[in-house]
Structure 1
Amino acid sequence: MARIPHPLVARARRLAAELLLPEAEHVDQEGVPPGHVEAVKRSGLLGVAAPVDHGGSGAPPAVLREITEILAGACCSTWFVQTQHHTPVQMLAASGLPVRERLLGPLSRGELLSGVAYAHLRSHGRCPVRVRRRGDGWRFDGTVPWYTGWGLNDVLLLAGATDAGEVLFAFAEACEQPGLRASAPMRLAALTAARTVSLELDGLWLPAESVVLRTPYETWAAGDRARTRNTGPAVLGVAEGALSLLAEETAAPLRARLAGVRRLAYDLADHPVPHERTGERLAVRAEAYDVLRVATTAAVVAGGGRAMALSSRAQRLAREGLFLLVQGQTAETREAHLRTLTASGGVTAARDPGGAD
């Protein structure tokens, strides 16, 4: 008997089929339009993992992963704008601070869309954003190198490092204001459409009531490292999108390989101890990237000269694949991926992870 999909998965498939995929090449060249954001807000997908008592769906991680694959495979730029939202929701749900009651409901119900500005924390020791006490609030100074969704997000989750070795996360309005100025949108090889800018912080002051988390850097970093070792569902979604462009006899062996990677990756993601089996997680992650590379390359080859046109879905997916190679990257994942790429035998070693820790 066929499995009945979760209602939000069915909704994601309709959104992808009726709006995201038909418009993806246009969006890639012109930018994610506000209409796409409004459609995502109306869909309920922004509350997939949010608490039911605040208007969310409280769905299990497997549902969020499946939705991620669907959206990323249809329009990676739109997926990337909306995926920023889930971290603030999860952080608010776990917080006991006053900002939880102010923002968790609107974010869970899709009334507001949040972006994130915290990847720079992975450069701890040379973190470009510093936070200091100022009166009954906090002052932020420095540069956020990457912020996605500018002009589309309603609020942003901003993080910086304190002189006491802590990291502090707080919410701000996602607009220019005293102490916060955005650069012009960046021109990138892929996902320019997601409206990425850098943010200059020069004395941005946020009240204590905007803070959602304040914790030692190592506490936060340990959880962040554990998350980034896992395979991103978007990688599998873009690979699936590329395979859909191939003849079935060409796609079949790659689709079987992708299914095997998906099974391993999600079994590891569901492992109850996130800090265990590190080697296996990194190996499967590298294997997923190799499937993505082969799938997107095959789509370009099958498309021939037409694949070089900016209106080609194949070349868009190939460029999005390049983006996903570095999205969410840490020093650990970069070094592990490079070791795999340069090792004798390549990524095929990941298929038999018997020596994983």
Structure 2
Amino acid sequence: MTATLDHPLVTAARRLADDVLSPAAEAHDREGVTPAAIDSVKASGVLGVSAPAAYGGAEAPAAVGREIAEILAGACCSTFFVQAQHHTPVRMLAEGEEAIRRRWLRPLSEGTLLAGIAFSHLRAYPELPVRATRVAGGWRFDGRVPWYTGWGLNDVFLLGGATEDGEVVFAGVAAREQPGLTATDPLQLAALTGARTVGLLLDGLVLPDEAVVVRLPYERWATEDRPKNTNTNPAVFGVARAALDLLDASGDGEAKETAGVLRERLAAARRDAYALVDEVPPAERLDDRLAVKVRAYDLMRAATTAAIAAGGGRAFGLSHPAQRLAREGLFLVVQGQTREVRTAHLEALRS
């Protein structure tokens, strides 16, 4: 843990959080994450935390990436969520086709470009919200991406589509309107509206073969994808810790006592969650992963509720971080939610 906390990128993330993100969090929440904030994220180096060193990344241990995620989420969850999309394209490009890897992986690893993702709709298969069709020299994409975060902030994104015969195709796309690609108006959400989430309308978007990152059978992709969301999102711990920090800073003895109790419980859940990630193969002990995930949600909810209770009526002002953290916590309950996660959460609430 000490080595993780001493990592240069963790230090950079704390500086980014303290100097840029935390002071702007309420403004980002109401008005949107700014290009200037994204420039600061790029300059900090955190976008390369898991990227291969051969392409200019840090290739840091997973624990470093988790710590950075907690720091950024606790400072400004909207900005965290925008940059969080970046790391999946980096990982996929590192193992993907050579042409697109040569074009994009270095600028993504060095943080000169920011990537987004557009493929969660693939989990609806055999429905085809986005259909991929082979055409001469490339692929055509048609349909609607219901959820795309970072529009106007991302430079490029990873688009996923499924074919009629059960293959998934991932390709790189410039993050701008172009023939066959338009964006909806920004979605108005109860939380993280500042992350600039839109829908993407695809009507004959044609991408060349050189844009393809990977093609594989849907079942192979789904087998690797399904267990991922059973793990606890580090952002849950980051938002909870930020709420506990508010309690500690309140000057109220009962609030600080409550923070102490919840902090111990949160630390235990964090240890259990990360031990499952680090020590157990990804497809094993899924029930245990879901159980600790639900436990972490409960502690996050308790922490954010305690911050509102301690703040009283003023905590509901839009300039007060307690209400923002509570709404961000609710967002994290449904972000990346699968049927298994939803079932586990509802069963826990009934018990």
TM-score, normalization by structure 1: 0.94
* Structure 2 residue aligned with 1:352: none
1:152 has 2:153 as partner: yes
> 4+ runs of 1 displaced by more than 4 Å?
1-4
Write out aligned runs for 1:56-135 (5 A): 56-135=57-136
Determine whether 1:54 maps to 2:77.
no
One-letter identity of the residue aligned with 1:292: M
- TM superposition shift of 1:226: 1.4
In structure 1, what is the equivalent of residue 313 of structure 2? 305
Q: Give the superposition deviation at 1:96.
A: 3.8
Contact 2:230 2:286 (8 Å CA) reproduced: yes
Distance 1:292 1:127 in 2: 35
* SS of alignment partner, residue 173 of structure 2: strand
Shift of 1:271: 2.5
Shift of 1:335: 1.1
Compare 1-10 and 183-192 and name the one that shifted more: 1-10
Amino acid at match of 1:298: A
Match of 2:331 in 1: 323
C-alpha contact (below 8 Å) 2:97/2:212 kept by paired residues: no
Amino acid at match of 1:31: G
Deviations 1:281-300 (A, max 9, x none): 01000000000110011111
CA distance in 2, matches of 1:270, 1:213: 26
SS in 1 for 2:279: coil
Q: Which residue of 1 aligns with 2:8?
A: 7
What amino acid sits opposite 2:164 in the alignment? Answer: D
Q: Deviations over 1:7-34 (max 9, x none)?
A: 0001100110111001111111110000
- Distance in 2, matches of 1:274 and 1:2, equals 25
- How far apart in 1 are the matches of 2:54 and 2:139? 30
Name the counterpart of 2:295. Answer: 287
Q: Is the 8 A contact 1:97 1:211 kept in 2?
A: no
Please tell me the residue identity of whatever aligns with 2:273: A
Measured in 1, the distance between the counterparts of 2:168 and 2:261 equals: 46
Rounded to whole Å, the distance in 1 between the matches of 2:17 and 2:97 is 36
2 CA distance for matches of 1:159 and 1:229? 21
Q: Number of matched residues?
A: 343
* Counterpart residue number, 2:261: 253
Q: Which amino acid aligns with 2:215?
A: R
Q: 1:41·1:111 contact (CA, 8 Å) conserved in 2? A: yes
CA RMSD of aligned residues (A): 1.1
Contact 1:292 1:321 in 2 (8 A): yes
- State the shift of 1:97 in Å: 3.3
CA deviation digits over 1:190-212, x for unaligned, max 9?
00000000000000000011011
Residue identity in the other structure for 2:288: E
Distance in 2 (alpha carbons) for counterparts of 1:16 and 1:304:
26
Superimposed CA distance per residue, residues 125-149 of structure 1 (whole angstroms, 9 cap, x where no aligned partner): 1231000001110000000000000
The separation in 1 between residues aligned to 2:161 and 2:307, in whole angstroms, is: 41
What is residue 251 of structure 2 aligned with on the other side? none
Residue in structure 2 matched with residue 233 of structure 1 by the alignment: 234
- Give a deviation string over 1:154-177, Cα, whole Å, max 9, x none: 001100111120111000110000
Question: How far is the alpha carbon of 1:272 from its aligned partner?
Answer: 4.3
Unaligned runs of 5+ in 2: 248-254
Q: Is the 8 A contact 1:128 1:144 kept in 2?
A: yes
Residue 187 of structure 1: aligned partner: 188
Question: Is this contact kept in 1: 2:97–2:214, CA < 8 A?
Answer: no
Distance in 1 of aligned mates of 2:97 and 2:208: 16
Structure 2 residue aligned with 1:264? 272
Please state whether the residue corresponding to 2:160 is helix, strand or coil: strand
Query: Partners of 2:223 and 2:334 in 1: how far apart?
Result: 20
- AA in 2 matched with 1:7: P
1:196-211 equivalences under 5 Å are 196-211=197-212
Could you tell me how far apart the structure 1 residues matched to 2:340 and 2:222 are? 12
Instruction: Report the identity percentage.
Output: 62
Give the partner amino acid of 1:331.
R
DSSP 3-state at the match of 2:246: coil
- Alignment match, 1:138: 139
Secondary structure in 2 matching 1:273: coil
